[in-house]
Copies of this chain bind each other. A is one copy, B any other.
């Protein structure tokens, strides 16, 4: 879990993913010698802060978003949300501005419910703050801020160790309306003819999806993927013998929203471990579900 710990500690609020993109890029460049197959590594101005790893003759693309939720410093001691953080007053927020490091405390206005900060000085307007990372590991669980989606990124990087054919795409802005998958999908579709996707992201523990019972295959969330494709994913998962659970939700979204809207016929399916304490500094995932997620991706990328 050393890689996961490192990933959780790199700040990457939506819109400012450059540092984590470089981390992933450095990791891929360094580790690829140990991977069974070497990818083409694509990361240049055409892709902003995204990274693409292309293995063999791809049929399916994996999307894992780099960005996280957080806050932007507004005026006075006000904060504006990046995505949908669920933190409580008193939680520790960190960042950097022109005067140096920031380590402050979240406040919540009694009247308005609006977030703010307590700190010994004003923080520069526009500074992004993220949760302080307290990474906790037990024999059976990992707990940290930003397992959503550093665990999806971790899963994608671990998948690279054995991947023969496929695209692994690291995207930006997922937590705040999207903005990179549209062009990533266009490039992948037009360059490689790929139109099958898996969304390597984290979902939530619910009355129907329990911690420890395997990675979730989402049959739908706020959007509905094409049944014919999801049925293929389910059939492969069932035949694999790998523990998994079927999820059905009416809300929530992912990078799939941009695939669904794309001007290309993308089939997609969200496949990801469930977590408790979603969008807090204490996101909690069962290690069995992490193992199941990686195993499922290995099977799916072989057989789809």
Q: How far is the CA of A166 from the CA of B302 in the complex (A)?
A: 42
Q: Of the listed stretches A13-21, A25-33, A130-138, A274-282, name the one at the interface; the rest are far from the partner chain.
A: A13-21
- A76 close to chain B: CB less than 8 A: yes
Count how many chain A residues have C-beta atoms less than 8 Å from C-beta atoms of the other chain.
Answer: 56
Q: Quick one: which of B15, B46, B249, B265 contacts A220, CB cutoff 8 A? A: B15
In the complex, what distance in Å separates the CA atom of A80 from the CA atom of B172? 29
Q: A180 contacts B126, CB within 8 Å?
A: no
CB under 8 Å from chain B, chain A span 68-98: 72-76, 80-82
With contacts A179-B261, A263-B262, A264-B183 known, is A250 near B45, CB below 8 A? no
Give chain B residues whose Cβ lies under 8 Å from the Cβ of A207. 75-76
Contact A18 B227 (CB under 8 A): yes
Given contacts A46-B265, A265-B45, contact A126 B185 (CB under 8 A): no
- Are the CB atoms of B227 and A16 closer together than 8 Å? yes
Query: CB-nearest residue of chain B relative to A126?
Result: B219
Query: Quick check: is A9 within 8 A (CB to CB) of the other chain?
Result: no
In the assembled complex, the CB of A153 is this many whole angstroms from the nearest CB of chain B, namely 19
